[in-house]
Amino acid sequence: MSDRVQRLAQLQDLELMIREVEDPASKMKEEALGFSVEGLAQLQNARSRLLKQIPKQDLRAYQRIRRKYDRAVVPVMNRICLGCFQALPTSVTRNVSEAGPLPICENCGRILYWL
């Protein structure tokens, strides 16, 4: 996975964790199971630091996709996008350059990384 896509995947994970901590129903479920739900400030600080490392064009693409889907960055396994479960054409390759465009699923438009 390229550094660019890895940072976006980390951002997605942080945002999902923040949303879960902020959700009262989710928080109650976690606490009922005996888990402590704390650390919102640390998650938000980590998100802020990570945002500074992501190129603006990548962040714009990520945010545009996040408006449509909860998960904007999804894995590919055996040429199948695990966001939409459609086979990818052979033209979509694993080679992602640091300067080139992000790998995007031609069907759902999500950002891809290979397992």
pLDDT along the chain (115 residues), means of 10: 91 93 84 81 95 96 96 95 93 67 93 92
- CATH architecture observed for domain 3-114: Orthogonal Bundle (1.10)
Q: Where are the alpha helices (DSSP H) in the chain?
A: 3-22, 24-32, 40-51, 56-66
Number of H helices, E strands in the chain: 4, 3
Cβ 68 vs Cβ 109: under 8 Å: yes
Cβ 4 vs Cβ 99: under 8 Å: no
The predicted pLDDT at position 38 comes to 79
The SS3 of residue 110 is: coil
The predicted pLDDT at position 83 comes to 97
pTM: 0.85
The predicted pLDDT at position 87 comes to 94
Which of 77, 74, 78, 79 shows the shortest CA–CA distance to 104? 74
Whole-number Å distance between alpha carbons of 91 and 93: 6
The predicted pLDDT at position 55 comes to 94
Residue 91: Cβ within 10 Å count? 6
